Amino acid sequence: MRDPTLDLKVIHLVRDPRAVASSRIKSRHGLIRESLQVVRSRDPRIHRMPFLDAGHKLGGKKEGGGGSDYHALGAMEVICSSMAKTLQTALHPPDWLQGNYMAVRYEDLVVEPIETLRQVYGFVNLAVSPEMEKFALNMTSGPGYSSKPFVVSARNATQALSAWRTALSYQQIKQVEEYCHQPMALLGYERVSSPEDVKDLSRTLLRKPQL
């Protein structure tokens, strides 16, 4: 970033941590080793936040996830801690980062693909081609939401945004919010206060981010 011969900019793509947790659980078999590595990489000097439900690891077996769900959620503590540090740096940037960092919410990209894409391209002083705009629009206007992990396909934006609200239990959602409340606040992801909040899909749970 300090190399005068490079005009380097950082585009940080972020997503609602609850959706990230849901995706990790859905991909439990492909990511269980990675989740374990993430959990083990946490700084032992930092106080670990306990699970809200002490019996979660055993209770998860009833839903078919067992230990893999437990580790997927546990990884979110490390992921969100790292994200919080990154966002705090971006919020109060040193000289070398000022004007060179842009956070892009996945939710904005799928709900307003053309406008968000133009903002991203403008940030790096490029013009968006009509072909790219058409591609972005097609990728966010698909017929549904893929249930298979690691598959890139056109998706329905509304279903993609709300999938975690039907895939996660209320207890799992509150656990992620406990781990991730700092980056969620900075990025404009509203926390839920009841199971009814989760089920009310007319509420987007999005507000203006601080970045």
Please name the amino acid found at residue 189.
Y
Rounded to an integer, what distance in angstroms lies between the CA atom of residue 6 and that of residue 9? 9
Pick from 17, 40, 35: which is nearest to 186 by CA?
17
**114, 136 contact by CB (below 8 A):** yes
DSSP state letter for 141: B
In this prediction, residues 6-29 reach a mean pLDDT of: 89
In this prediction, residues 97-101 reach a mean pLDDT of: 95
Task: Quick: pLDDT tens for 23-62.
Answer: 888 776 556 556 656 666 666 666 555 566 545 443 444 4
The per-residue pLDDT for 60 is 44
Q: Which of 20-34, 137-151, 188-202 has the lowest mean pLDDT?
A: 137-151
Please indicate whether residue 172 or residue 35 has the higher confidence score (pLDDT): 172
Q: Is residue 63 very low, low, confident or very high in pLDDT (cuts 50, 70, 90)? A: very low
- Whole-model pTM? 0.81
In this prediction, residues 12-29 reach a mean pLDDT of: 88
Rounded to an integer, what distance in angstroms lies between the CA atom of residue 142 and that of residue 153? 8
Task: Quick: pLDDT tens for 101-146.
Answer: 999 999 999 889 999 999 999 999 999 999 999 998 888 886 655 5
Quote the mean pLDDT of the chain.
Answer: 83
Whether 90 shows a pLDDT value over 90: the answer reads yes
Please indicate whether residue 22 or residue 42 has the higher confidence score (pLDDT): 22
